[in-house]
Each structure stands twice: as C-alpha cells, then as structure tokens.
C-alpha cells in the first residue's frame, strides 16, 4: 500500500529517548524562527500577533511559538485532518484550519506573519501559493519560507541520490534565484535570505563531522551563499 503524504509527516518515536532527543534538536533548529519573530515584534509592536503556519503538519513549530509568544494568536493550516488533530493536541492554543496552501481559508490581510516551511516544493503551481500568501498577509507583514535547494552542493554531488529527491511529493525543486524572483513578482520584498549548511552530503552529516555545519546553523540559521542544503527567505509583503 503506498504511503500517503500525511503518513510521511506523522511524528515517530514519541515517548522514547530518541523522540525526546529529536524534539530537543528541533527546538534548537526552530530558535531561528523565534529570532525572526522577535525581530518583527520589535519593529512592529502590537497588542496581539497573528501567526499562520501553512502546512503545519503535527504542530512542532506552533508548539515552540506557544512557549515564547504567550499572547500571539496561532493558526495552523494543513490539508490533513489527522495531522491537524495531532497539532492541536500538542498546542491547545492553536486554531486548526483544514485547507490547501493554494486556497488558504483566511480572510484578506488577516495574518501578521505566515510561515511555509518545506511546503512550496510540494506544489505543482507554487505561484498560486505566493498569490494567496500576498492576499492573507497584511501590508508590512512577513512571509517566511524554507525549501530544499536544488543548487546545493549536496544535490550536485549526490545527483539523483540527493535527499531532496527521496520524497516523491517533492515536485517543485529549484535553485534560490527561482524562489527569490517569484517572491519579487508576487509582491514581496526580500529582507533576508540565504542557504543552510551541508547536511545533504551524508558523510558530512555524521558525527563528529556533522558539528562542522550543525553548530554554526544553530547560531546563525543560514548564510549568504548558494550551496547550502535549504533555501531560507524572510520577505515583507508590499
């Protein structure tokens, strides 16, 4: 029986040492997104921050935000009811919305910040998502994306064995310039962007060599080069 997309993103090893270690590792990774939010809040003080996680999956990101942004309104959008149920069990403050990234169940200009982490590579027409993102993010608000980088050093070395190709639902894999140009055409101004480390090269992803890129990644998140494993972009809605 073929594995569904929702099954690919179901949490595993819950309640085990491995699961606890992965949750800690994920929280360290997600500190990057917390820093972006704190920067936005400092520049745009408001009584309540509305954060939308598009393709929220089992709710890892929103659970992290719930710990640090106590007054924020948290909304998770996903096309899987099963994943939304898990997400809400982890983050009771989250409002779950069943919907598609290219037809977001949100009103115009209703979001201060929208995240789409490893979402656009799953879309046959990613331009439709960016049009929707511009509709739902208010002027001056943020859109944050992350997606596998088809121009990464890992992709160049590994070819078809690159991990970005391992998920059959990755149907829109592109280089950073493709995404930055699409954001520009869609009415966003890039504030910061870059790529991550070299986790796509298997022997560099194992300890102790893995420390070469994981430690800098924890502190800085992404870097001003085009060879990293994932492209990350923070853009302002014009």
Using alpha carbons, select from 68, 8, 20, 24 the residue that is nearest to residue 214.
24
Q: 3-class SS at 70?
A: coil
**pTM of the shown model:** 0.89
Between CA 200 and CA 159 the distance in angstroms is 11
207 contact partners, CB below 8 Å, separation of at least 6: none
Between CA 5 and CA 170 the distance in angstroms is 10
Distance from the Cα of residue 139 to its chain's centroid:
21
Q: Is the CA virtual torsion 79, 82, 83, 84 positive or negative?
A: positive
Identify the DSSP state of 120.
G
149 contact partners, CB below 8 Å, separation of at least 6: 155, 164, 175, 176, 195, 196, 226, 227, 228, 229, 230, 231
Q: What is the pLDDT along the chain (238 residues), one digit of tens a residue?
A: 334 455 545 555 555 655 555 665 666 678 889 999 999 988 887 667 999 999 999 999 999 999 889 889 999 999 999 999 999 998 999 999 999 999 999 999 999 999 999 999 999 999 999 999 999 999 999 999 999 999 999 999 999 999 999 899 999 999 999 999 999 999 999 999 999 988 888 777 777 766 776 777 777 889 999 999 999 999 999 9
């Amino acid at each position: 029986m073929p594995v569904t997309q929702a099954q690919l993103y179901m949490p595993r090893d819950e309640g085990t040492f491995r699961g606890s270690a992965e949750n800690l590792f994920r929280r360290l990774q997600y500190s990057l997104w917390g820093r972006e939010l704190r920067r936005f809040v400092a520049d745009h003080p408001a009584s309540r921050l509305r954060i939308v996680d598009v393709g929220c999956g089992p709710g890892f990101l929103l659970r992290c935000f719930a710990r640090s942004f106590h007054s924020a309104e948290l909304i998770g959008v996903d096309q899987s009811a099963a994943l939304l149920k898990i997400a809400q069990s982890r983050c009771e403050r989250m409002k779950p919305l069943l919907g598609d990234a290219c037809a977001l169940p949100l009103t115009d200009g209703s979001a201060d910040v929208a995240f789409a982490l490893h979402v656009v590579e799953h879309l046959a027409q990613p331009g439709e998502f960016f049009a929707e993102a511009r509709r739902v993010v208010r002027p001056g608000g943020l859109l944050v994306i992350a997606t596998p980088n088809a121009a990464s050093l890992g992709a160049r070395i590994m070819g078809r064995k690159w991990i970005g190709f391992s998920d059959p639902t990755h149907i829109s894999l592109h280089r950073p310039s493709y995404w930055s140009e699409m954001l520009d055409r869609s009415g966003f101004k890039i504030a910061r962007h870059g790529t991550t480390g070299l986790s796509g090269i298997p022997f560099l992803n194992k300890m102790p060599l893995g420390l070469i890129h994981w430690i800098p990644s924890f502190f800085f998140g992404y870097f001003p080069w085009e060879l990293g494993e994932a492209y990350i972009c923070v853009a302002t809605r014009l």
